[in-house]
């Protein structure tokens, strides 16, 4: 029996119909709401490709059952990071540093970095690497990603 | 954004069907030829590669696809440069068997070297034709014409490309062996410049549609349920075991292929996890503890001599010869794509349409046609970019899974592999075992070099990896073994008096093999470049000086590359190992040189390492690289590729190894098959050697070849012990240190 679940995604109250309230948030975002930002990478919380913000915190959406979310909790995906046409400073920095190859992991890199920079001023390179230690990139874009996060950090 | 809609529109519009009208020919003639002639696909036609619409928008068609390497940008640069049009007016259609020429699989670092050069030839021919036509129309001598932004001017008049050719075909032949004269590199405005990638803005704002995002109307979701053991037979399926899950459309069983189709993705995932199926026991894999014995004792299909000079046996038998031997191995690796393979398929009116991130849509079309008993004309494969694949991963298999499920339910089906599907079932980089022997005279000169590479055969008849769904279901399949050209770089770039290098092509290998990035060249270069370091130490000579002594003196580009890497790293000229280091952490540096396939791109590298003698951990704080791939199209894109190759291969060298038992791969996630993480990524220092007047060579692979040996040589420099088994795990480092006879 399909159930309607209320969510707040990218500033909008939305309802999604699901058979299983324990379905992970990732599938609601991708399949019910048609968003492309959060990506399926492992379903195990090991790679970070599915990262979104819940109340400003970076979380692995593949490991968040819908039933654990309250309708009031603010879910933000890569689609919701920009303010209108103004990109988030982390997005701008990723473009400036050309910090992507295939780009499949980049959603997680940006969402993780944006949450990290929101609470960390002037991070060192080691701080940035530590913050991203559980986000995997296979193409080997790490050096550019670190440069992009550093650049974004200076544009507070 | 919906690629499906845009592709459909394109099919209806000018993409596939272009009014045939030779440039300069009268309209009536064109109409008489019949409007709606199919777009040509032959490599010998300009129209196969590009068209220009009435507004001057250039559309390029290429079988080479962007696997995340940035060629969507660099190929546009090449065409825009040759045609003198702004980059933004060039579109690219890639990897669509109905629209793009078959330029070969996107592999082997050939997208620029072959694909880009073919596009350049087409654009140069088109440019010549447009200039000639403009001269006629404007009544001006061709040499008095100038062109800028797609507008040709002369004699105070001008005419645009769109006015000259807009929407019509060039109908010009193209001979890539005798290409038209291309632009002089000194006039380049776009080629050689770090043009920003066209895809990155969409990728950082979630506007990009990856294969994993791709949807078609009426589409259902499929998941596969693979056997728990390689070779296991499906004995029974209890469909009742998933009856509590709403939305199941069909359980599809075909031989040993089992899949589930559901209304939504989560139902398919849950059902695939929950369904009860019984499988026969199967133990087809060797004992992992005896993998290398298994490889060594595998039946040899054929010995392939890849180089032979002088008499190795006689040189080694010289009375005063010092002889050396060593065995190197390189573990079984996965491609390790971050996004597991995904595909969508649709059967309609006896025709199959397949969307996937295949690096080889033309080859995939032939494979799917064989599998389903269709004419290739009734199969269309379209490329949609996915996560980086780094060779032949599971994308083609997902395409076969989706097609099989789509046929079973009569609706389009999307198949998304799980992480375990990808780690367990993508084809693997095969285990590689290499024996090396050499002799040296009293003066320290190498007199003989002799090597055996134990690597799987490449069966005749094509480079395509059997599709898992075809094999499991018992549908017609190609029983190929296709690891790619893994014999490459088994021969060495050095001039020794006697050389014999032999690839012992094995009949079988434990896992379905395919090419992983830098196939064979990475593993073979690793063994060769470590062993020459061993000999340099035996001769008491600096490792770079020792290599320079044996390099072809006329190969100036090779010498320059090696010398520039040495300068970049501020190489300290002395023999290895470094002397007198105290404390737990010791440091060293190691060099490697490769001439890719002994015929193209040159790479030289220096790795710096720190080895913790107590924990056995290796760190690579810095990696220096000098790189000559001829004419550089996009230096920033090139650097991105080099950084990626180095980081990925540091990961392969230090960490990666498929784990398995007698039944199956057991490393099915990122914890059991870890890859390099941010804190351990080296600083990479690059010296790009640009040669604008030379032909462009490939760069997607060669710099991966230099990494494992540079690290092994640096570890030797630091510790005095030689690592000969990739990955260089802490346990192996500690064991090597413990076995070191010089240890006090």
Same domain assignment for residues A56 and A98: no
Q: Does A108 touch chain B (CB under 8 A)?
A: no
Per the CB < 8 Å rule, is B266 touching A1?
A: no
Q: Which helix (H) or strand (E) holds B619?
A: strand B618-628
**Would an 8 Å CB–CB cutoff place A140 in contact with chain B?**
yes
Kindly state whether residues A55 and A93 are assigned to the same domain: no
Q: Which residue of A has its CA nearest to B70?
A: A101
Cβ contacts of A16 on chain B, cutoff 8 Å:
none
- Tally of domains in chain A: 2
Mutate to test the interface with B, among A33, A99, A102, A132 (most CBs of B within 10 A): A102
Optimal mutation site among A16, A36, A99, A145, interface B, most CBs of chain B within 10 A: A36
Question: Which one of B206, B339, B645 has the shortest CB-CB distance to A104?
Answer: B339
User: Given a cut of 60, is residue A85 above it in pLDDT?
Assistant: yes
Q: What CA–CA distances, in Å, run from A112 to A45, A122, B635?
A: 13, 16, 29
Rounded Cα–Cα distance for residues B229 and B279 (Å): 8
Same domain, yes or no: A96 and A43: no
pLDDT at B403: 98
Indicate whether A18 and A64 sit together in one domain. yes
Interface test with B, best of A103, A132, A150, A151 (most B CBs within 10 A): A103
Summarised one tens digit per residue, pLDDT across range B155-199 is 999 999 999 999 899 999 999 999 999 999 999 999 999 999 999
Mark whether A74 and A11 lie in a shared domain.
Answer: yes
pLDDT value at residue B10:
37
State the best of B204, B263, B676 to mutate against chain A, taking most chain A CBs within 10 Å: B204
Q: Using one digit for the tens of pLDDT, what is the confidence trace for B133-150?
A: 999 999 999 999 999 999
Q: Which of B121, B84, B70, B119 is nearest to B644 (CA)?
A: B70
Report yes or no on whether pTM surpasses 0.90.
yes
User: What is the tens place of the pLDDT at every residue in B660-671?
Assistant: 999 999 999 999
Cβ-based neighbour number of residue A10 at 10 Å? 20
Strand blocks (E) in A10-154:
12-18, 51-54, 57-60, 74-76
Residue A45: which CATH number? Answer: 3.10.20.30
State the Rg of chain A over Cα: 15
**In Å, how far is A11's CA from the nearest CA of chain B?**
17
Q: B16 falls in which pLDDT band (50, 70, 90)?
A: very low
Q: Which residues constitute the domain of residue A41?
A: 3-80
Indicate which CATH number applies to the domain containing A97. Answer: 1.10.150.120
The answer on A47 and A8 residing in a single domain is: yes
pLDDT of residue B461: 83
Interface pTM (ipTM) of the complex? 0.98
Q: Are residue A10 and residue A42 in the same domain, yes or no?
A: yes
When pLDDT is averaged across residues A29-57 and rounded to a whole number, the result is 98
Q: Which residues of B452-486 are buried (b: 16+ CB within 10 A; e: fewer)?
A: bbbbbbbbeeebbbbbbbbbbbebebbebbbbbeb
Is the C-alpha dihedral spanning B656, B661, B663, B668 positive or negative?
negative
Ordered by where they begin, the domains of chain B are 3-195 (3.30.365.10), 212-281+337-425 (3.30.365.10), 511-739 (3.30.365.10)
The nearest CA of chain A is from the CA of B527 a distance in Å of 24
Residue pair B124/B182 in contact (Cβ under 8 Å)? The answer is: yes
Pairing assessment for the beta strands B499-506 and B446-456 based on DSSP bridges: parallel
Within this chain, do residues A70 and A114 fall inside the same structural domain, yes or no? no
According to the model, what pLDDT value does residue B293 have?
98
In tens, the pLDDT along B340-397 reads 999 999 999 999 999 999 999 999 999 999 999 999 999 999 999 999 999 999 999 9
Co-location of A28 and A66 in the same domain: yes
The number of C-beta contacts closer than 8 angstroms across A and B is 179
* Same domain, residue pair A107 and A44: no
Shortest distance, CA A133 to any CA of chain B (angstroms): 5
Task: Give the Cα separation of B355 and B361 in Å (integer).
Answer: 9
Give the end of a domain, one of A80, A114, A135.
A80
Contacts of A36 in chain B (CB under 8 A): 1, 206-210, 213
Would the CB atoms of B683 and A138 count as touching at under 8 Å? Answer: no
B183/B180 Cα distance (integer angstroms): 10
Phi, psi at B451, each rounded to 5°: -150, 150
* Residues within 8 A of B (CB atoms), A 78-97 only: 78-79, 82, 87, 91, 94-95
Query: Which among A1, A95, A141 is the nearest to B644, CB-wise?
Result: A141
Whether residues B246 and A19 touch (CB distance < 8 A) is answered with yes
Task: For residues A10 and A75, state if they share a domain.
Answer: yes
Do residues A8 and A76 both lie within one domain?
Answer: yes
* pLDDT tens digits for range B25-62: 333 333 333 334 579 999 999 999 999 999 999 999 99
Task: Note the pLDDT of residue B743.
Answer: 58
């Amino acid at each position: 029996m399909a159930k309607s679940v209320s969510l707040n995604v990218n500033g909008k109250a939305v309802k999604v119909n699901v058979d299983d309230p324990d379905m992970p948030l990732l599938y609601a975002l991708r399949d019910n709401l048609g968003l492309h930002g959060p990506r399926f990478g492992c379903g195990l919380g090991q790679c970070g490709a599915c990262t979104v913000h819940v109340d400003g915190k970076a979380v692995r959406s593949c490991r968040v059952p819908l039933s654990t979310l309250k309708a009031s909790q603010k879910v933000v995906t890569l689609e919701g990071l920009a303010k209108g046409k103004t990109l988030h400073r982390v997005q701008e920095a990723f473009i400036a540093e050309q910090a992507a190859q295939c780009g499949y992991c980049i959603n997680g890199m940006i969402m993780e970095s944006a949450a990290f920079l929101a609470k960390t001023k002037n991070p060192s390179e080691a701080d940035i690497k530590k913050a991203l230690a559980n986000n995997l990139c296979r193409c080997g874009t790490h050096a550019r990603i670190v440069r992009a996060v550093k650049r974004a950090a200076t544009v507070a | 954004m919906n690629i499906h809609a845009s592709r459909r529109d394109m099919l209806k519009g000018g993409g596939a069907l272009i009014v045939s009208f030779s440039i300069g020919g009268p309209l009536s003639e064109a109409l008489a030829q019949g409007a709606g002639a199919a777009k040509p696909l032959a490599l010998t036609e300009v129209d196969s590669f590009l068209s220009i619409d009435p507004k001057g928008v250039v559309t390029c068609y290429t079988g080479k696809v962007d696997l995340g390497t940035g060629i969507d940008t660099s190929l546009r640069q090449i065409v825009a440069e040759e045609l003198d049009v702004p980059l933004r007016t060039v579109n690219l259609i890639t990897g669509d068997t109905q629209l793009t020429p078959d330029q070969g699989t996107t592999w082997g670092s050939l997208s620029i070297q072959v694909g880009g050069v073919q596009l350049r030839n087409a654009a140069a021919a088109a440019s010549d034709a447009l200039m000639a036509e403009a001269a006629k129309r404007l009544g001006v001598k061709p040499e008095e014409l100038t062109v800028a932004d797609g507008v040709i001017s002369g004699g105070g008049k001008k005419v645009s490309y769109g006015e000259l050719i807009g929407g019509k075909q060039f109908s010009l032949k193209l001979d890539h062996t005798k290409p038209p004269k291309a632009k002089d590199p000194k006039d380049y405005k776009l080629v050689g410049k770090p043009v920003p990638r066209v895809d990155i803005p969409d990728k950082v704002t979630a506007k990009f549609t990856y294969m994993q995002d791709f949807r078609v109307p009426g589409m259902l979701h499929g998941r596969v349920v693979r056997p728990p053991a390689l070779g296991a037979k499906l004995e029974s399926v209890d469909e009742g075991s998933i009856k509590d899950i709403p939305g199941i459309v069909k359980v599809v069983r075909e031989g040993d292929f089992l899949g589930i189709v559901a209304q939504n993705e989560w139902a398919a995932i849950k059902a695939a996890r929950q369904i009860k199926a019984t499988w026969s026991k199967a133990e087809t894999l060797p004992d992992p503890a005896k993998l290398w014995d298994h490889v060594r004792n595998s039946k040899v299909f054929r010995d392939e001599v890849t180089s032979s000079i002088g008499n190795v046996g006689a040189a080694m038998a010289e009375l005063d010869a010092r002889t050396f031997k060593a065995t190197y191995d390189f573990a079984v690796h996965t491609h390790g794509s971050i996004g597991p393979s995904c595909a969508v398929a649709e059967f309609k009116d006896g025709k199959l349409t397949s969307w996937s991130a295949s690096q080889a849509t033309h080859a995939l079309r032939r494979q799917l046609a064989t599998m389903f008993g269709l004419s290739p004309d009734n199969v269309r494969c379209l490329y949609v970019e996915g996560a980086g694949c780094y060779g032949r991963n599971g994308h083609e298999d997902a395409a076969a899974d989706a097609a099989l499920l789509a046929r079973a339910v009569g609706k389009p089906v999307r198949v998304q592999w799980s992480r375990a599907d990808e780690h367990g079932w993508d084809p693997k980089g095969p285990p590689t075992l290499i024996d090396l022997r050499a002799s040296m005279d009293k003066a320290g000169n190498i007199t003989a070099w002799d090597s055996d590479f134990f690597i799987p055969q490449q069966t005749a008849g094509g480079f395509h990896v059997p599709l898992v769904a075809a094999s499991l279901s018992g549908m017609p399949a190609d029983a190929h073994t296709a690891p790619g050209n893994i014999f490459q770089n088994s021969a060495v770039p050095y001039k020794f008096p006697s050389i014999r290098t032999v690839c012992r092509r094995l009949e079988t290998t434990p896992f379905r093999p395919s090419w992983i990035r830098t196939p064979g060249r990475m593993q073979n270069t690793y063994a060769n470049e470590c062993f020459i370091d061993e000999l340099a130490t035996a001769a008491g000579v600096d490792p770079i000086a020792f290599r320079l002594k044996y390099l072809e003196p006329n190969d100036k580009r090779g010498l320059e590359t090696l010398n520039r890497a040495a300068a970049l790293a501020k190489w300290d000229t002395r023999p290895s190992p470094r002397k007198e280091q105290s404390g737990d952490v010791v440091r060293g540096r190691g060099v490697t040189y490769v001439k890719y396939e002994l015929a193209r791109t040159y790479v030289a590298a220096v790795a710096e390492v720190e080895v913790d003698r107590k924990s056995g951990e290796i760190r690579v704080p810095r990696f220096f690289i000098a790189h000559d791939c001829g004419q550089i199209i996009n230096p920033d894109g090139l650097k991105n590729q080099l950084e990626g190759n180095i980081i990925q291969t540091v990961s392969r060298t230090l960490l990666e190894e498929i784990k398995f038992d007698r039944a199956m791969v057991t490393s099915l996630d990122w914890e059991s098959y870890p890859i390099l993480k941010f804190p351990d990524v080296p600083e990479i220092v690059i010296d790009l050697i640009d040669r604008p007047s030379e032909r462009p060579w490939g760069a997607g692979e060669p710099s991966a070849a230099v990494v494992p040996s540079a690290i092994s040589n640096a570890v030797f420099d630091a510790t005095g012990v030689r690592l000969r088994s990739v990955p260089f795990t802490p346990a192996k480092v500690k064991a090597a240190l413990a076995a070191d006879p010089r240890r006090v």
